[in-house]
Amino acid sequence: MLNLQDVTYKKRGKYLLSGINGHVKLGDCITLFGPNGAGKSTLLKIMAGLVKPTKGKCQIESSSKNPIGYVPQQVALFEGLTVKDQLAYYQKITKQKSDTFLNDMIQSLGIEDILHKRIEQLSGGMQRKVNLAVGMIHQPEILLLDEAFVGVDLAAKYDMLSWLNQLNQQGTTIVFITHDWYIINSLKPTMWVLDEGQLLDQVEWNSISYLNLNGGSRSLQKMFDVNVANH
Ligand SMILES: Nc1ncnc2c1ncn2[C@@H]1O[C@H](COP(=O)(O)OP(=O)(O)O)[C@@H](O)[C@H]1O
Ligand SMILES: [Mg+2]
């Protein structure tokens, strides 16, 4: 449902992404994995249609008018509004008619007790939950999450991951970025290993330690030395 063909992105003479080819199928769960600056966020924005590749293309096949839910790295919420009003606002602009989905999401994410609180009264973790809820309020076919779990405690992570696992099992496609092994172990994704703007390989989460790092950057090698081999 999402086809990347030779996706290349150049900014100020520098290649942030070079010749990325890949295919995201309905119901897939994929993580973009790699060191800081590898190009993960840029690729996710291209998948979301927010950034246009310099060369190549990213095609989306869907019968839905609004198939994509994008949750940005920065919390994007209005201060001064309650959680309930925030959700109602996005429900209105995305024309989401199903209250059932919304209520399921509120219950699953455990945000029913904070509906009357304003954004600035919430902890960072709670804001992340609301940020996730807002980004997927229209029940998208493809969910794109850019480090959506930063600063979230284990209990909140558990709620978010249970909800995402449930959706993925029901057929929602998820592409996410994280540096957190707890999340990778829970979602069991296919890992697209990105390094210096190149897609090195695509491997299952439990085969990552067998990845051939020849040609990988020093940062990628360090990541593997410190972390990956132990998981
Ligand atoms: N708008 C921009 N202009 C110039 N350089 C950018 C821009 N956005 C990102 N970069 C650079 O591109 C590289 C990849 O960025 P990014 O996609 O955010 O990587 P990641 O999410 O993997 O950390 C980084 O070196 C970053 O500094
Ligand atoms: Mg990033």
The rounded Å distance from CA 15 to ligand 1 centre is 10
Does the beta carbon of 74 lie inside 6 Å of ligand 1? no
The rounded Å distance from CA 183 to ligand 2 centre is 16
pLDDT at 126: 93
pLDDT over threshold 80, residue 230: no
pLDDT over threshold 80, residue 227: no
Distance CA 218, CA 213 (A): 10
The runs of H, that is alpha helices, within 124-214 are: 124-135, 154-169, 181-187
- Mean pLDDT score across all residues of the chain: 93
The stretch 19-36 carries a mean pLDDT of 97
Confidence of residue 184 (pLDDT cuts 50, 70, 90): very high
pLDDT over threshold 90, residue 37: yes
Confidence of residue 225 (pLDDT cuts 50, 70, 90): confident
pLDDT at 107: 96
Three-state DSSP class for residue 130: helix
Which atom of ligand 1 is least distant from the CA of 44? 17
Confidence of residue 80 (pLDDT cuts 50, 70, 90): very high
pLDDT at 231: 64
Closest of 12, 2, 5, 7 to residue 53, by C-alpha: 7
Contact (Cβ atoms closer than 8 angstroms) between residue 79 and residue 73: no
Contact (Cβ atoms closer than 8 angstroms) between residue 130 and residue 122: yes
pLDDT over threshold 70, residue 228: no
The rounded Å distance from CA 18 to ligand 1 centre is 13
pLDDT in tens, 159-182: 999 999 999 999 999 999 999 999
| Domains observed in the chain | 2-72+141-230 (3.40.50.300)
